[in-house]
């Protein structure tokens, strides 16, 4: 790991995050930081330099979005190859700094509006402990050895029952494949799909973590622009892609819902091409307005849809259990190509989740979390409307665990993040979700509401408003 020791000037008119960004960028461009070299973790660098973690995050995010760095899940952040880097020119930050009237940070409050968080206070600690203890006993000693490659049959059966009841997904338990998170599942899927096509269409913008899996496995990415109701079918037709990755029930990150007519058009197109639709239903449990939206997989031709779900949003990402519903031909492909890989999820964790669902705790927990997150969603929307009014546009309300806001001021994304950090509010960038960086909307940021306490929502928006306008 390369030690970073920049000379950061706290009295300079240039923000600390920008000084750190320029320091690392210069090391890369002068080849002092070499391709694939690992950078210090956010926590380590924050402690080492005596600066906030938000400042390090802002600098790293800017370098990631511009292609100077790349990240590997659970491995860290690394330097990109020089030939892959585009050079960006930044405007002077003096005008931005002159607008800032600093509020002293309040460490006694947690103003966490980042994306991809959960409500830690609402995890079913006692029930999970109770069910987990049921699994640690001599009568279940078989759980201590290797299990089935696709996952435990009893858990797969519970998942098949759940997705049919909750999302209208049509499958048998034999079609369910347990994975250790969405990216691990997609890696296995990429092995199965290589014989179908060597390119894949993605929503633009869309989930970068999924794109990266396919890039790393040699697929060409076809970014397809979004329309007001989801991915553009006309542009998808022109792309000739046989495989497409979509988030139709709550597009990530923009939040629109694909209507039934467009879903049928998508199914018809991919069926004609003998391809596959990857339907990532990453937060399908959380809809707060209107009728529940059934899955794309549950419509006319489920044999062309690979359905993906996860327990990370409603339960916890630490449990590391996701699942795919494979069409029958891909089940056979899995058995031919992927049986060399052992099941990555602990049998004890699988058994715990199976019993948690079997005892009815899962359905109760989902209802509880839907009420909790709806309350937070409504409080956040109300606070934005009352405090920021028409100074922002809210994008993607009514579902999921985040909103997007398009901020109507002269700040760039990096400036929005830095000023939010000074207000002691954590928000998340969106630029990394664009494949074509020249199309990035630099005035749009995430406001996630899962991780913040309800009583802190109003204050967080007051603070952001003070710094942004």
SS3 sequence of the chain = CCCCCCCCCCCCCCCHHHHHHHHHHHHHHCCCCCCCCECCCHHHHHHHHCCCHHHHHHHHHHHHHCCCEEEECCCEEEECCHHHCCCCCCCCCHHHHHCCCCCCCCCCCCEECCCCCCCHHHCCHHHHHHHHHHHCCHHHHHHHCCCCCCCCHHHHHHHHHHHHHHHCCCCCHHHEEEECCHHHHHHHHHHHHCCCCCEEEEEECCCHHHHHHHHHCCCEEEEEEEECCEECHHHHHHHCCCEEEECCCCCCCCCCCCCHHHHHHHHHHHHHCCCEEEEECCCCCCECCCCCCCCCCCCCCHHHEEEEEECCCCCCHHHCCEEEECCHHHHHHHHHHCCCCCCCCCHHHHHHHHHHHHCCHHHHHHHHHHHHHHHHHHHHHHHHHHHHHHHEEEECCCECCEEEEEECCCCCHHHHHHHHHHCCEECEECHHHCCCHHHCCCCEEEEECCCCCHHHHHHHHHHHHHHHC
Q: Categorize the per-residue pLDDT at 438 as very low, low, confident or very high, splitting at 50, 70 and 90.
A: confident
Question: Tell me: the pLDDT tens digits for 222-261?
Answer: 999 999 999 999 999 999 899 999 999 999 999 999 998 9
Q: Categorize the per-residue pLDDT at 87 as very low, low, confident or very high, splitting at 50, 70 and 90.
A: very low
- Given a cut of 50, is residue 100 above it in pLDDT? no
Look at residue 90 in the predicted model and tell me its pLDDT.
43
Contact between 77 and 57 (Cβ < 8 Å): no
Average pLDDT over residues 354-380: 96
- Percent of residues, the chain, with pLDDT higher than 90: 69
Question: Tell me: the pLDDT tens digits for 264-322?
Answer: 999 999 999 999 999 999 998 899 987 777 899 998 767 999 999 999 999 999 999 99
- Percent of residues, the chain, with pLDDT higher than 70: 93
Look at residue 97 in the predicted model and tell me its pLDDT.
36
Contact between 392 and 384 (Cβ < 8 Å): yes
Look at residue 136 in the predicted model and tell me its pLDDT.
86
- Given a cut of 80, is residue 98 above it in pLDDT? no
Question: Tell me: the pLDDT tens digits for 106-115?
Answer: 443 368 999 9
Ordered structural domains, the chain, with CATH: 16-79 (1.10.10.10), 125-360 (3.40.640.10), 365-468 (3.90.1150.10)
Q: Backbone phi, then psi, for 243, in 5-degree steps?
A: -120, 135
More confident residue, 260 or 154: 154
Q: How far is residue 128's CA from residue 343's CA, in Å, rounded to a whole number?
A: 22
Average pLDDT over residues 374-395: 96
Contact between 399 and 250 (Cβ < 8 Å): yes
Look at residue 110 in the predicted model and tell me its pLDDT.
60
């Amino acid at each position: 790991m390369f030690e970073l020791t920049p000379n950061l000037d706290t009295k300079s008119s240039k923000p600390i995050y920008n000084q750190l960004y320029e320091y690392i960028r210069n090391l890369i461009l002068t080849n002092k930081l070499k391709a694939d070299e690992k950078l210090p973790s956010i926590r380590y660098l924050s402690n080492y330099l005596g600066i906030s973690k938000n400042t390090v995050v802002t600098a790293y995010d800017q370098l990631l979005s511009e292609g100077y760095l790349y990240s590997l899940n659970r491995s860290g952040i690394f330097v990109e190859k020089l030939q892959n880097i585009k050079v960006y020119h930044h405007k002077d930050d003096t005008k931005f700094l002159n607008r800032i009237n600093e509020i002293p940070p309040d460490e006694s409050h947690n103003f966490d509006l980042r994306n991809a968080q959960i409500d830690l206070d609402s995890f079913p600690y006692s029930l999970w402990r109770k069910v987990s203890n049921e699994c640690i006993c001599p009568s279940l000693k078989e759980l201590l050895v290797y299990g089935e490659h696709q996952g435990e049959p009893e858990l797969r059966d519970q998942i098949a029952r759940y997705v049919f009841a909750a999302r209208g997904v049509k499958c048998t338990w034999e079609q369910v494949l347990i994975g250790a998170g969405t990216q691990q599942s997609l890696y296995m899927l990429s092995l199965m799909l290589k014989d179908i096509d060597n390119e894949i269409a993605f929503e633009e913008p869309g989930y970068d973590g999924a794109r990266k899996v396919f890039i790393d496995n040699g697929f060409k990415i076809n970014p397809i622009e979004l329309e007001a109701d989801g991915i553009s079918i006309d542009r998808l037709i022109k792309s000739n892609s046989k495989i497409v990755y979509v988030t139709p029930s709550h597009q990530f990150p923009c939040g629109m819902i694909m209507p039934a007519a467009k879903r049928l058009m998508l199914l018809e197109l991919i069926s004609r091409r003998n391809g596959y639709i990857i339907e990532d239903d990453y937060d399908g449990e959380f809809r707060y307005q209107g009728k529940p939206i059934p899955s794309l997989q549950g419509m006319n031709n489920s044999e062309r849809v690979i359905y993906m779900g996860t327990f990370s949003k409603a339960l916890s990402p630490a449990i590391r259990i996701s699942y795919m519903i494979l069409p029958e031909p891909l089940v056979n492909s899995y058995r031919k190509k992927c049986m060399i890989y052992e099941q990555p999820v602990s049998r004890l964790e699988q058994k715990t989740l199976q019993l948690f669902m079997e005892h009815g705790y899962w359905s109760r927990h989902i209802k509880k979390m839907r009420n909790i997150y709806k309350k937070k969603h409504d409080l956040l929307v109300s606070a934005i409307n009352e405090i920021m009014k028409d100074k922002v546009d809210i994008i993607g309300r009514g579902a999921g665990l985040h909103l997007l806001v398009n901020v109507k001021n002269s700040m760039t994304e990096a400036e929005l993040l830095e000023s939010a950090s000074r207000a002691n509010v954590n928000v998340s960038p969106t630029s990394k979700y664009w494949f074509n960086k020249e199309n990035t909307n630099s005035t749009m940021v995430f406001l996630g509401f899962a991780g913040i306490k309800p009583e802190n929502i109003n204050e967080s928006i007051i603070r952001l408003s003070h710094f942004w306008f």
